[in-house]
Structure 1
């Protein structure tokens, strides 16, 4: 049988929110969780592994391809060196 102190401790450490909402609360606080809930509750949201659009990445590569190495461009953008080479060729073929 659990003692009163154990039960109270369990309740005090219990998260206020369900699953992902608790994660967002821990990261961003109540106001953001409320906004996320109001706008997206019941929805499935996919977060791509790449933060930036391909168009944006192409523009950054074009701006920097004469100043940075392919390795540096890959590190900067999160793409592989092979992908950077492919994008540079795409830029040059325009």
Structure 2
């Protein structure tokens, strides 16, 4: 079988190929071609993070949770205030 010639691919597809492989790149192209994708900076959504904080925050592990989930400590503090306000309502 002949190897697929990717030398003429657009740069973004060449970059993706390096990261996720040829087959996955072709699948991504077929599924999303022509659509502009905007990938969030964080993998974990804010709404899910609120749930995580409700369960895992122990009063002392703000910084640890921020690092683990890719949020700033300031963002974690804002979310904790939001949770507190919701609980008080």
TM-score (norm 2): 0.77
Bigger radius of gyration:
1
Moved over 2 A (4+): 14-17
1:17 Cα deviation from its structure 2 partner = 2.2
5+ residue gaps, structure 2: 1-5
TM-score (norm 1): 0.73
Q: Cα RMSD over matched residues?
A: 1.8
2-side partners of 1:73 and 1:39: how far apart?
Answer: 35
5+ residue gaps, structure 1: 1-13
Match runs of 1:12-51 below 5 Å: 15-51=7-43
* Structure showing the higher helix proportion among its residues: 1
Number of residue pairs aligned between Structure 1 and Structure 2: 81
